[in-house]
Amino acid sequence: MKFSVIIAAFAAASVTFGIPLVKRAHITDAVILQYALTLEHLEDAFYHQALQNFTEYEFAQDGFDSSFYAQLQSIAADEHAHVEFLTAGLEAAGANATKPCNYSFPYTTPREFVALARVVEGLGVSAYLGAASSIANAQYLTAAGSILTVEARHNAFLNTELFDNPAPTPFDTPLGFSEVYSVAANFITGCPPSNPTLPVTAFPSINVTYANSTTKPLVAGSKVNITTEATTNSSTYAAFLSGLDTELVALPSNGSLTVPKTVAGQVYLLLVNTNNATKINDETVIAGPAILKVEAA
């Protein structure tokens, strides 16, 4: 499907904004496009800043050769193209396309950047996958799917460069709008007041420490310790989201959890007040998600 065809589809849509910040608002295609653009702006800035901060030589000093650097430039160009595509579509529909925010990313070396990049790309995959079932327009769904597959290839490439499994599970993990935004919000320090408000909730964070070592890979079956500022009680459960499955574990009072042996790859950890995986939503999530990189047992 050509770019111009998608733009025409955007322009034909009835787009209205000024949406209040509520937990359970009606998610329209217009809202999803703004949500996607919010995430693409973040990714665009993430790669742009890294290529400004580090030279090809500095990447080489950290173990990444010239072919990796060239591919990194290609990934950065992809993310910028996604921004331009979504912006053009929204503007063609007469909408006020969301603008980039200010960001702060927690890395100090090229290797730390690459490790974070694969997490960011994995989050992008989960974001588009989670939004898919809410997209009503078939052409929008095709466009989103076209971006999703590219994000997945970025993630696989970065995993491979870090000597990790490029496809650790047979299914990727969908995440809800608020869950994705809760992760993205950690990198956002401020946004233009003119940006349309998204109907999402930023949940309290979960801090995770390895019970045994912070230097070895986290393996399914290992123990982790968690803390959060959110209020928890004896009815709180830890939900491990991996692929299309959710493993629910009662949260002990000491916050010590065993990572289920059934999870692998980029695993999302939520704290919820339900023991029914089908009822995990904005009303039942207490905190998270935290992101765990888990090796299969």
Average pLDDT over residues 227-233: 94
**pTM for the predicted model, two decimal places:** 0.89
Average pLDDT over residues 121-146: 97
Domain boundaries in the chain? 3-190, 206-295
Cα–Cα distance between 61 and 79 in angstroms, integer? 25
* CATH code, residues 206-295: 2.60.40
Cα–Cα distance between 122 and 174 in angstroms, integer? 10
Cα–Cα distance between 164 and 155 in angstroms, integer? 11
Q: Does domain 3-190 have CATH number 3.40.605.10?
A: no
Q: pLDDT digit string (tens) for 29-69? A: 999 999 999 999 999 999 999 999 999 999 999 999 999 99
pLDDT of residue 296: 84
pLDDT of residue 9: 39
Does the pLDDT of residue 16 top 70, yes or no? no
pLDDT of residue 15: 37
pLDDT of residue 26: 76
Q: pLDDT digit string (tens) for 166-177? A: 999 999 999 999
